[in-house]
Structure 1
């Protein structure tokens, strides 16, 4: 009986990773997202983290200052959380072929890989997340959608060992060049 349940559990986990919409589905959507153009200058963002149950456990704001260093897009992010904590992250993104990007950050394990199509950017990476004095490596499936030239919506699914642990919802507003 236990073997049967294990097979069903493994099948369910395998199928949960299948499907989904490819970023190419949005290739004809406008306005067209130019990551370098959007994130050069100042961008402000507001967001929240929700557990799998839907409970909001953290709210936060982010100030992002971006610039180019040759072909590298550098984004300095300063987070302020609802519990009073602060965090900084510096992304370094570089082109990785037509419409493709790869990036690194201090709390990202290895490299992040993503692709732009139309108004959308989809990328995946493993984030080393500190929680109550312990660090956890969680996978992020991250989607960004340009709404207009100044506004972007972001929805990320966070998982550990293939099981979703929560979601991040974030809204960006470009405020400076």
Structure 2
């Protein structure tokens, strides 16, 4: 039974803002999900599915901003022992700090909100699964930490811990 072969690295959306020198030393980095994921990104993480050994995951993303401001993010997800998978995000900012969109792996809409310097993404998946991601920008503005939890009937069945880096764009 395959519990999870979907948003392994829902890596989708974050950051930007003033350079570190322009922020107060302890001020959180503000997310600009559209700007962060426009261009090329690389993610490397550890995926743990309940009752299975952990596995490594790599995600290669290419994002571009459409005329209407929507981010189109195409990703290739590589997980050891599983064929590479393609997925597509379409995300737009609906109000400052709030995002809405779609993900080809999701079973409904994706919603996002910037909370305390982190981006929270949430969506449903097939099989009664519910995913939540917290993406926190690093002070360098070119990397972020992604933690995703997938629950079934309130019980955690999948956990992803990933580092995302902007590599171009």
Q: TM-score range by the shorter chain?
A: 0.7 to 0.9
Q: Which of 125, 141, 150 in structure 2 is aligned with 1:158?
A: 150
Stretches of 4+ aligned residues off by more than 6 angstroms: none
TM-score (norm 1): 0.74
Structure exhibiting the larger radius of gyration computed from Cα positions: 1
Residue 113 of structure 1 is matched in structure 2 by 111
Residue deviations 1:78-134 (CA, integer Å, cap 9, x gap)? 111111411011000012222100110222111011102453100111123xxxxxx
Question: 151, 159, 166: which one pairs with 1:174?
Answer: 166
Could you list the runs of 5+ residues in structure 1 that have no partner in the other structure?
1-27, 129-135
Of Structure 1 and Structure 2, the greater helix share is in 1
SS at match of 2:95: coil
TM-score by length of 2: 0.77
Structure 2 spans left out of the alignment, 5+ residues: 1-25
Q: How many residues are matched?
A: 142
Matches within 5 A, 1:25-104: 29-52=27-50, 55-56=53-54, 58-69=55-66, 70-104=68-102
Distance 1:84 1:161 in 2: 26
CA RMSD across the alignment: 1.8
